[in-house]
């Protein structure tokens, strides 16, 4: 009878240790994979919501253009190159970077 009580205590301890390890792994996965991905998604949503006509953009394909119009929540019209006839409607998710109009700094090297 005394031997059985010791065995069940050992099993309960090993079960608690197993659950503890599983909880630790879940926390590691959350902080290493899920949380950074949510932060990146939120940053991209903020970037897409802040886009205005006149902003310079770069697409996920590496093309640079100027944002002409925000049609709706998912579609924008972008002008590529110097040719004013190259206007393409595209999905907002295809935009990787946005540079606000007038935000570029010009450095004057002649002032020493």
Helix segments in 1-112, DSSP class H: 2-29, 35-49
Residue with tokens 């240790």, as numbered in its chain: 17
Question: Bridge-partner residues for 111, per DSSP?
Answer: none
Q: Per-residue confidence at 110, pLDDT binned at 50, 70, 90? A: low
| Percent share of the chain, pLDDT over 90 | 54
- Per-residue pLDDT reduced to its tens digit, 22-34: 999 999 989 898 9
Residue 2: is its pLDDT beyond 50? no
Residue 14: is its pLDDT beyond 60? yes
Q: Per-residue confidence at 100, pLDDT binned at 50, 70, 90? A: confident
């Amino acid at each position: 009878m005394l031997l059985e009580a010791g065995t069940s205590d050992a099993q309960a301890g090993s079960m608690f240790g197993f659950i503890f390890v599983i909880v630790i792994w879940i926390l590691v996965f959350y902080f290493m994979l899920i949380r950074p991905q949510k932060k990146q998604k939120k940053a991209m949503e903020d970037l897409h919501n802040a886009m205005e006509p006149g902003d310079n953009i770069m697409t996920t394909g590496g093309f640079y253009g100027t944002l002409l119009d925000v049609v709706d929540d998912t579609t924008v019209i972008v002008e590529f190159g110097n040719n004013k006839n190259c206007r393409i409607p595209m999905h907002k998710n295809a935009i990787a970077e946005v540079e606000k109009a007038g935000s570029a700094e010009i450095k004057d090297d002649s002032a020493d």
